Chains A and B, each alone.
Chain A
Amino acid sequence: MIRVCFTQNLQRHVACPEVEVDGQTNATLRDTLNTVFNDYPKLRSYVVDDQGELRTHMTIFIDNEPILDRVGLTDATPDGSEVYVMQALSGG
Chain B
Amino acid sequence: MSDRILAATRKGLFIVTRQSSGDWKVDSAHFVGDHVPMAVHDPRDGALYAGVHHEHFGDKMHRSRDGGATWDEVGTPTYPEKPADRPDDLCPMRQIPIPWTTKLIWELTVGGGDQPGRLWCGTIPGGLFKSDDAGDSWELVRSLWDDPARAKWMGGGFDFPGLHSVFVDPRNSKRVVTAVSCGGVWISEDDGASWKCEGTGIRADYAPPETAYDPQTQDVHRLAACRANPAVMWAQHHNGIFRTADGGANWTENESDDPPSRFGFAVAAHPHDDQTAWFVPAIKDEHRVPVAGRFVVTRTRDGGKSFDTLTDGLPGEHAYDLVFRHGLDVDTTGERLTTGSTTGSLWVSENAGDQWRCVTSHLPPIYTVRFA
Contacts and interface: CB of A to CB of B under 8 A. Distances in A.
A50 B56 contact: no
Contact of B55 (A10, A13, A52, A91): A91
B55 A51 contact: no
SS class, residues of chain B in contact with chain A: loop
B307 to A, nearest CB: 38
A87 B57 CA distance: 9
A91 B56 CA distance: 6
B79 A50 contact: yes
Interface residues of B, number: 17
Given A42-B73, A45-B76, A50 B55 contact: no
B100 A51 contact: yes
Nearest to A13: B57
Contact of B78 (A9, A14, A45, A92): A45
Interface string A70-92: 00000000000000000110011
Given A50-B79, A51-B79, A57 B55 contact: yes
B86 to A, nearest CB: 12
Interface residues of A, number: 20
A19 to B, nearest CB: 18
Given A45-B58, A57-B56, A92-B55, A50 B78 contact: yes
A55 interface: yes
Nearest to A52: B81
B122 to A, nearest CB: 16
Interface in A48-67: 49-53, 55, 57-58
Contacts of A40: none
Interface in B150-165: none
B275 interface: no
B58 A46 contact: yes
Nearest to A55: B58
Given A42-B73, A51-B100, A88 B78 contact: no
Contacts of B318: none
Given A45-B60, A50-B102, A53-B101, 10 more contacts: A9-B56, A10-B57, A46-B57, A49-B99, A50-B80, A51-B82, A51-B99, A51-B101, A52-B81, A55-B57
9 contacts: A10-B57, A14-B73, A42-B73, A45-B60, A49-B58, A50-B78, A50-B102, A51-B99, A58-B56
